Amino acid sequence: NAGVMQNPRHLVRRRGQEARLRCSPMKGHSHVYWYRQLPEEGLKFMVYLQKENIIDESGMPKERFSAEFPKEGPSILRIQQVVRGDSAAYFCASSPGARELFFGEGSRLTVL
């Protein structure tokens, strides 16, 4: 049973470009969470999704950021018109609905 798969692991974008980060949850998991980790900081909750639904996006910046978890395929975190402050590690976690989250290895975004 493969773990939570994230890709790309590393992504470099220039200011103004778009970044798309993908997350495939563990098999059987229908809950997906996205977190952002800035250098020397803990993880900050961004959004919680179930298949085809955004359940809680209270941690998402109001502009430029969006997330989806379609019926088929991975969850995607999309950042439009990236700025240097978006440089961070973005972690996805999945859950079967039980009490534990399983984290992927993260996608590290660098904005030049």
Partner 1 sequence: ELKVEQNPLFLSMQEGKNYTIYCNYSTTSDRLYWYRQDPGKSLESLFVLLSNGAVKQEGRLMASLDTKARLSTLHITAAVHDLSATYFCAVALGNSNSGYALNFGKGTSLLVTP
Minimum distance between the CB of residue 97 and partner 1, rounded to whole angstroms? 8
Q: What is the DSSP letter of 9?
A: S
Contacting residue, 74, 76, 105, 110, with partner 1 by CB under 8 A = 105
- Cα 5 to its chain centre, rounded Å, is 11
CA distance 112 to 104: 25
When asked if residue 48 is in the footprint of partner 1 (CB under 8 A), the reply is yes
Contacting residue, 65, 88, 104, 109, with partner 1 by CB under 8 A = 104
The alpha carbon dihedral of 70, 75, 81, 85 has a sign of positive
Contacting residue, 11, 23, 43, 67, with partner 1 by CB under 8 A = 43
When asked if residue 72 is in the footprint of partner 1 (CB under 8 A), the reply is no
Contacting residue, 25, 106, 109, 111, with partner 1 by CB under 8 A = 106
Q: What are phi and psi of 66, to 5 degrees?
A: -150, 160
* Inter-residue contact 111 to 15 (CB < 8 Å): yes
The residues of the shown chain that bind partner 1, judged by CB under 8 A, are 31, 33, 35, 40-45, 48, 55-56, 58-59, 91, 95, 97, 99-106
